[in-house]
Copies of this chain bind each other. A is one copy, B any other.
Amino acid sequence: MTAIDLADAYRTMAVYRRFEEAVGAAVVTGEVHGEMHLGIGQEAIAVALRAMLEPTDAVVSTHRPHLHALALGVDPVALLAELLERSGLSGGKGGHMHLFSRDPQFMCTGIVGASAPLACGDALAQQRRDPGRVTVAVAGDGSMNQGAVFESMNLAALWRLPVVFLCEDNGYGISVRRDVATAGQLADRGTPFGIPGHACDGTDPEAVYAALGPAFERARSGDGPSVVVATCYRFRGHYEGDADTYRPKGEKDDWMSAPRDPLSRLRARLEAAGVPVVELDAADAAAEAEVAGWLEAARSVPFPDVDRVRDDVYAAPGARQGVRA
């Protein structure tokens, strides 16, 4: 395993940050009318994931899925268009929590814990067809208490499925602190099944990359699943609009301070390593421009056709009778 390229990681994280900010802004403009969960503060995990993933791998994500989709290489314009309720990835029917892409293979679900069984099934199908391929099942710290996740770990261990259970531990499930909801250490959750666990600093791409390394290697070589827990912090409320009164101000200030913010921290590190400031500024500017370009492109994607709102329930339209009267 080679090391992660930190300059590249910085560029990408800058894009991720801008991407999520743009989506947040679209909530304010009313282009998004539903619930919206952003991954700001969690970019280091996604960028390390990106460095591990092959285009043929699959990711099954959660209600906070955007950065994982980008990490896998899902078309950002189609993604953004879907988030903006246009005919994007899912034709405007899925929206932010229900993103689906066939190539690369990405999906997510709004039901906490429900990704894990789906990921096992994906891995099962691919295990023989395409050995060496990995399926990543993402979960939050809160989601790790859902029965579906435990059952999936047992199944994945038994069937040696090439699954990486990636837990983004941002310390909260909505307002509920990890220690209120979660007994023990999350990285130990796989141990009863013989699944190795790796805890890491989820604000440092290098640390996440190092933790993901053995997990991916194990999966690719057919030895079965792993658990990786990356500790981080969400910078926004649980959803856009959340008053977020439940997290202490001091805690927030601390995690979001420059020395801990994954982005500014990496920037400082690169600076210290001698990367010229202009180069980093250029990366920021490029990220800004890239996301602006995607946004413009996404905004030109047409809205879904209301006349086809009842299509896609079944393969054949009208397989179930419509509204009467």
Contacts and interface: CB of A to CB of B under 8 A. Distances in A.
A248 B184 CA distance: 40
Contacts of A21: none
A184 B194 contact: yes
Nearest to A192: B188
A88 to B, nearest CB: 33
A185 B192 contact: yes
Interface in A145-179: 145-148, 150-151, 153-154, 157-158
A258 interface: no
A145 B149 CA distance: 11
B146 A158 contact: no
Given A147-B148, A148-B147, A181-B158, A192 B191 contact: yes
A193 to B, nearest CB: 4
Interface residues of A, number: 24
Nearest to A113: B147
A183 interface: yes
A17 interface: no
A181 B193 CA distance: 11
Interface in A179-210: 180-185, 188-195
A145 B158 CA distance: 12
A151 B148 CA distance: 9
A188 B145 CA distance: 17
Contacts of A158: 180-183
A147 B151 contact: yes
14 contacts: A145-B151, A146-B147, A147-B148, A147-B150, A147-B151, A153-B183, A154-B183, A157-B183, A158-B181, A158-B182, A183-B193, A188-B192, A191-B192, A192-B192
4 closest residue pairs by CB, A with B: A147-B147, A157-B183, A150-B150, A183-B193
Given A147-B151, A158-B182, 7 more contacts: A150-B150, A157-B183, A157-B184, A183-B194, A183-B195, A184-B193, A191-B192
